Structures are given as C-alpha cells and as structure tokens.
Chain A
Amino acid sequence: MVNAIVVATVCFVLFLATHIIVFHKTDVRRKFRTMLFIAIAFCLLGCGLILFISGGTLQIQLSNTSARYLLYLGILLFYFSLSYCYFHTVVVIDRSISVRLLVEIASARDKGLTEQEIRKRYSVRGKFRDELRDLVFLKRVTEDKGVYKNTAQGQRHARIVSFLRSYLNLSTHR
C-alpha cells in the first residue's frame, strides 16, 4: 500500500507539472480533453511503476507496527476519498450549466431545442443573481443598494484566479 500511495503521489505531481507547462507554453484548444490525456498517461506510467516495483527490489520495507498504522490511514483515506468523489459528482450535476442544458434539451417535447427556446428555459441572468447571492453569503462580496463590492477575501480570490487564468492561457471570458 505504501508503494501505491508513493507512486500515485509522484505521478500526480508529474502530471501537475506537465499540465502547467503544456498549458503555459502552448495554446491548447480542447483543454479538458488534453488534461485528461495527460492524467491518463501518468496513471499508466504509475501502473507500470507499480508492476516494476512489486516485482523488483525497490519495495519499501516498513516495520509491522508502522505498516499497520499506514494501512489504517490508507484505508481511511480511501474510504473518505470515495465520499469526496461522490459529493463532487453531486455538485457537478447540480451546478453545471451544460448538464442543466442537456436535461432541458433531453426533456423537450421534440427532443430538441433552438437557441431561443434554450434561452427561455434557462436564464443566465438568473444564474448571475444566484451566484451573487452565494458570494454575499460566503462573504466574498458585499451588497449595498444593488451595488456589489469585493471584500478583502473576494479581492484576493479575483487576483489569484486572474493570474492563474493568464498563466495557464485559459479563457478570460468564462
């Protein structure tokens, strides 16, 4: 298990570095797909390393007690990581605009919608209102007579995201 955790962590760090370099140096068009391909490539590298390590002499040796505690820790991590993955799925299903539009198109009478019909069924302005309500609740933004202003937390958030968007060549108009 220790080998698995070490290899997975190393491969993840390599994935992260590659992803940042590729996105920074090149103008990637299909961003999510590219990121997924990089992740799969490093996952396969990890699988190869696991097979190599467990068959060779690089196996990490631990005392019985340490190994037992690490096993418990690993299982706990694995168990709660499943809850995170599940919750993340629920959040994406609830919050994603694309998922909402897909549900609207699939549930339409003719199983299809024009752009005008989509605009009637889903309001982007309503989305902005919801987001602003969330930001006020999260204390990122304050509202005074219909005028919104960033708090210190909101300013920090905006600056970090602006920097990352420009560094990773991500669209600034999302």
Chain B
Amino acid sequence: MMSQIIACLITAMICVGAHMIFFYLQRRPLQFESPVRKLLYQGKVVLAIWVLFAPLVVVFQNMFEPTGMDRVIYQGMTGRYASLVFATAFFFYLFFLYLTAYYMVDRSVSSRIMIEIETSPDGTIAFDRLSQAYDVDAKYRDQLNGMLQGGFVVREQDTYKCTMKGLFVARIAYFFKTVLRLGAGG
C-alpha cells in the first residue's frame, strides 16, 4: 500500500506544478463575468490535469513495487504506520469535505444574502436596502476581530499589522494569487 500512497503523492505534486505552469504561462489573465465562473474554470482545469496525469500513479507504483518497498514495510511495525498515515489522510479528507459545507453555513456571504431576501417583507430586495440590512460596518468589524482573535494581526493604536503567522499566510496567498492569476479576490 505504501508504494501506491507515495505514487499518489508524487503524481499529485506533479499535477500541482502542471496547474501552476498552465496559468502562469498564459499571456493575459483570463477575464470572467463573475468570481464563481473563474473558480468553476479553475476546478475544471484541476480535474482535467488530475485525470490526465492519473496513469502516472501506475507508472510510479510499478517503479516502486519491485524495490520491495511494500514487503519491507508490511514485515515490520511500519505496516501499522502505513495504515495510520492512510487513515489520518482519509479522516482529514472527510473533514475538508465537511469544512466546505460548514463554511457555506457559517461564513458564506451569498447564504446571508439569500436569507436577507427571504426574510424581507415582500421576498425581494434592492441593492441599497441589502447593504443597509447586511450592515457593512459590522462586516468589517467582524472580519478584523476574527483576524485579531486568530492571531493573524495585531492592533497598534489605530493600525492593524500582520503577525508572523499572518505574514506567512499572506505570502502563501500572494504566491498563489500571482502564479494562478486569480486577481485580488476576496
């Protein structure tokens, strides 16, 4: 099993590289009518790359298997650890899936907008009324308080500054936004 796991991890790294190269080499950033169309396009490209490179898993596995990697691992205590790695990865995969649903319920701006429309007296809402109902000031405050609580920023007098943790996240995000030409986002 270990040879397959390692083959999957190596192939996935190649896929990530291919995805980054694909977008980085585009001469002009692609223009989309709305953010969701951009993400749908990104999702399709990621899936296409993963399907295209899937045979590499078999190639790598065939490279690793004759080395006796699995046999050696199964003979010792490491067999247990291989199962342990797989179980942990599988658990966190399920957790990631759940996080998507959780964020849609807890944080999603679009869910909140649909709730505001639903609870408005006649079931319709104009943009200006939506901005009032949503409370833009509270939204800024919530975001900044969340970042303060999470230790991503600190407040020095009236100025918000990134902590080391915040700077680390910001740099990774900036790298992805630049390489994948995602635009400012948010």
User: In the complex the two chains form, is A31's CB within 8 Å of B147's CB?
Assistant: no
For the complex, give the distance between the alpha carbons of A150 and B110 in Å: 11
For the complex, give the distance between the alpha carbons of A143 and B95 in Å: 36
Q: B171 near A: Cβ within 8 Å?
A: yes
* Interface size of B as a range: 35 or more
User: In the complex the two chains form, is A99's CB within 8 Å of B186's CB?
Assistant: yes
Chain B residues with Cβ below 8 Å from A106 are 162, 166-167, 170-171, 174
Some 29 contacts from A to B, beta carbons below 8 A apart, are A3-B83, A4-B90, A5-B87, A8-B91, A15-B95, A35-B102, A75-B4, A78-B93, A82-B8, A85-B92, A85-B96, A86-B16, A93-B172, A94-B38, A94-B42, A95-B185, A102-B166, A103-B184, A111-B161, A118-B144, A128-B130, A128-B134, A132-B127, A134-B34, A137-B37, A155-B114, A159-B118, A168-B105, A173-B138
Which residues of chain B have a CB within 8 Å of any CB of chain A?
1, 4-5, 8-9, 11-12, 15-16, 19, 33-39, 42-43, 46-47, 50, 54, 57, 79-80, 83-84, 86-100, 102, 104-115, 117-118, 123-127, 130-131, 134-136, 138-140, 142-144, 146-147, 149, 152-153, 156, 158-162, 166-167, 169-174, 176-177, 180, 182-186
User: In the complex the two chains form, is B117's CB within 8 Å of A154's CB?
Assistant: yes
Question: Which A residue's beta carbon lies closest to that of B11?
Answer: A79
Within 8 A of B (CB), among A37-75: 39, 42-43, 46-47, 50-51, 54-55, 71, 74-75
User: In the complex the two chains form, is A111's CB within 8 Å of B162's CB?
Assistant: yes
* Interface size of A as a range: 35 or more
| Shortest beta-carbon contacts, A-B, top 4 | A100-B186, A106-B170, A4-B87, A8-B90
For the complex, give the distance between the alpha carbons of A21 and B146 in Å: 24
